[in-house]
Structure 1
Amino acid sequence: MQQSKTTRIAGGVMLALTVLFCVLPFLSMFSAALQPQGSMPEGIQFTAHPHWENFIDAWNVANITPLLLNSIILVVTVVPCVVIFCSLGGYAFAQLKVPFKGLIYALFLVGLTIPFETMVTPLYYEISDMGILNTRLALILPLIGLNIPFGIVWMRSCFEQMPRDLMEAASIDGAGHFRTFRSIQLPLALPAISSLGILTFLATWNQFLLAVVLENDPNKRTMAGALQAFVGQYQTDVVLLNAGALLIMAPTMLLFIFLQRYFIRAMLAGSVKG
């Protein structure tokens, strides 16, 4: 009984420390965003007269309105493509007899091991040679390709755990592979698909490096790319930088707050299947 109580206390302490470790950076950013512009905030210092107008100024300075539209278009395009391609590909690797399946799957695994930063320069020259530099396609196509290796591995592990009895019963009833995938496998894979969609959304929305490298026009970059507007050649406006960063993070934070139950359920289901 004593050991169980000690375990609960230790678990509570670890949970409190984890929450504190996660919340402190946001408190520091929030307090810095409310300071007078041009100042250099240190640590967590809340002023008696918070400058809420800093958020409006940060929105205007970074011209976030077109960047918000760009990010929405990017997410609406990339996330469905990744989910569809990876669901079909994961099902093919798990259930179908594909020539050289092992070799092709090994290439996807290799894609997971390559550091993202090493591909930025080749991507720049490739996109430039294709003539789509500084367009929305310059971000859409690479982001789809970069998210597919993880999505294929994720969905393959999900479809491999599907009950074989359902496959055999569908085959006896005369269902083909596509009907089996659409009517039987896909509904059972919804937790893994939803978690893949959420993770792809986060990776796409928070993309900064590609937006800065592949988009020369600041108005064609993403919300994350707006942070570049607060970094000058000789100085950085720390107050507006924190205010802008909070504005950029707001959609993802709201998404997690409203969908946290489904996100945790999807992650747990995906881990069990994987």
Structure 2
Amino acid sequence: MISRTERSANYAILLLFAVFALWPILTILAGALGPDDAGGPGGLANFPAAWAEGRFGGSMLTSVAVSGFVVVVAGVLSIMAGYAFGTMRVPGAAVLFPLFLLGLMVPTEVIVVPLYFDLRTFGLTNTFWGIALPQVAQSVAFGTFWMRAYFRSRPPSLIEAGRLDGAGSWRILWQILVPPGRPAIVTMVVLTFMWTWNEFLIPLVMATDESLRTAPLGLAFFQGQYTSGLTLLAAAAVIVAAPVVVVYLFLQRHFIRGMLEGAVRE
């Protein structure tokens, strides 16, 4: 039984950490809504001004296209690979699965230079594919690890019952195992979207064309223009971060459920 003092102490600690986490966000929001450094009206007018001056329309569309492609392709590949590693006897799995895990261990900074020369050999630099495909590979590494843990937690009797009913591996995956795995899949999708949206180094190295500039890159170039005026810079930062926040808030129930299930299973 938790005493009233212990409960009050727990709430005080949680409140302290909440303030510590929210303070930078509130500071950026306050700066974005503050008076314009150039003497303009400020407030909500800072957002369309930052959007227009930073030309974020094209960079946001590029980020949406890249993130959508990576989430869909990496998600499908991760589900199928996780299903294979989690429920089947894959020849060479003892070697193949650690190779997938290398994608989680090796930082982007280590591979970006040789990756650039490899993609340049195939003529993929300064293209959409040069930005998206490396991030698909990175996301599949995490997604395979995540979905393997989910599929291994499924009761073997569930798969055996599907096989007794005449279901093949494909039907067992998409009709029996995937529907109840929505929280795990949504968690993978949210994390993949967040990492892809915030990726800075790969778009910076792989593409020099302004039309292929992603939102974080657009924000970085915009920051170079407004080193002294912080109001429009803060508004631009809010614009770039808004899609990630919206996606998380929209899927937070499944995301939290998937994280909790992953924590207690493996």
- TM-score (norm. length: structure 1): 0.89
Question: Is the 2:79–2:144 contact (alpha carbons within 8 Å) kept by the matching residues of 1?
Answer: yes
Q: 1:172 to 1:129 in 2, by over 3 A?
A: same
Report the alpha carbon displacement of residue 184 of structure 1 after superposing the two structures with TM. 1.3
Task: Supply the AA of the counterpart residue of 1:129.
Answer: T
1:37 corresponding residue in structure 2: 37
1:89 corresponding residue in structure 2: 81
User: How far, CA to CA, are the matches of 1:238 and 1:128 in structure 2?
Assistant: 38
Task: Supply the AA of the counterpart residue of 1:84.
Answer: V
User: How far, CA to CA, are the matches of 1:254 and 1:146 in structure 2?
Assistant: 23
Q: Secondary structure at the match of 1:239?
A: helix
1:104 corresponding residue in structure 2: 96
Question: Is the 1:82–1:144 contact (alpha carbons within 8 Å) kept by the matching residues of 2?
Answer: yes
2:19 corresponding residue in structure 1: 20
Q: Are residue 254 (structure 1) and residue 253 (structure 2) matched?
A: no
Task: Supply the AA of the counterpart residue of 2:53.
Answer: V
Q: Are residue 160 (structure 1) and residue 152 (structure 2) matched?
A: yes
2:214 corresponding residue in structure 1: 222
Q: Are residue 60 (structure 1) and residue 52 (structure 2) matched?
A: yes
Q: Secondary structure at the match of 1:219?
A: helix
User: Among 234, 249, 256, which residue is 1:264 paired with?
Assistant: 256
Report the alpha carbon displacement of residue 233 of structure 1 after superposing the two structures with TM. 8.3
Deviates further, 245-254 or 208-217: 208-217
Q: Are residue 140 (structure 1) and residue 132 (structure 2) matched?
A: yes
Q: Deviations over 1:93-137 (max 9, x none)?
A: 011121101110011122211122212222222222221211111
Question: Is the 1:38–1:238 contact (alpha carbons within 8 Å) kept by the matching residues of 2?
Answer: no
User: How far, CA to CA, are the matches of 1:16 and 1:177 in structure 2?
Assistant: 48
- 1:154-233 residue pairs with structure 2 within 5 A? 154-232=146-224
Superposition RMSD on alpha carbons, in Å?
2.1
User: How far, CA to CA, are the matches of 1:191 and 1:76 in structure 2?
Assistant: 19
Task: Supply the AA of the counterpart residue of 1:196.
Answer: M
Q: Secondary structure at the match of 1:175?
A: coil
Task: Supply the AA of the counterpart residue of 2:36.
Answer: P
Task: Supply the AA of the counterpart residue of 1:21.
Answer: F
Which blocks of at least 5 consecutive residues in structure 2 are unaligned?
Answer: none
Q: 1:244 to 1:67 in 2, by over 3 A?
A: same
Q: Kindly tell me the number of residue pairs found equivalent between the two proteins.
A: 264
Deviates further, 85-94 or 239-248: 239-248
Report the alpha carbon displacement of residue 247 of structure 1 after superposing the two structures with TM. 0.6
Task: Supply the AA of the counterpart residue of 2:8.
Answer: I
Q: 1:238 to 1:122 in 2, by over 3 A?
A: farther
Report the alpha carbon displacement of residue 240 of structure 1 after superposing the two structures with TM. 2.4
Q: Deviations over 1:164-205 (max 9, x none)?
A: 111222222232222221221112222211111111111111
Question: Is the 2:36–2:232 contact (alpha carbons within 8 Å) kept by the matching residues of 1?
Answer: no
User: How far, CA to CA, are the matches of 1:160 and 1:234 in structure 2?
Assistant: 51
User: How far, CA to CA, are the matches of 1:235 and 1:174 in structure 2?
Assistant: 65
Question: Is the 1:38–1:239 contact (alpha carbons within 8 Å) kept by the matching residues of 2?
Answer: no
- TM-score (norm. length: structure 2): 0.91
Deviates further, 194-203 or 232-241: 232-241
Structure number having the greater helix percentage: 2
Task: Supply the AA of the counterpart residue of 1:36.
Answer: D
Deviates further, 135-144 or 122-131: 122-131
1:46 corresponding residue in structure 2: none
Question: Is the 2:198–2:216 contact (alpha carbons within 8 Å) kept by the matching residues of 1?
Answer: yes
1:122 corresponding residue in structure 2: 114
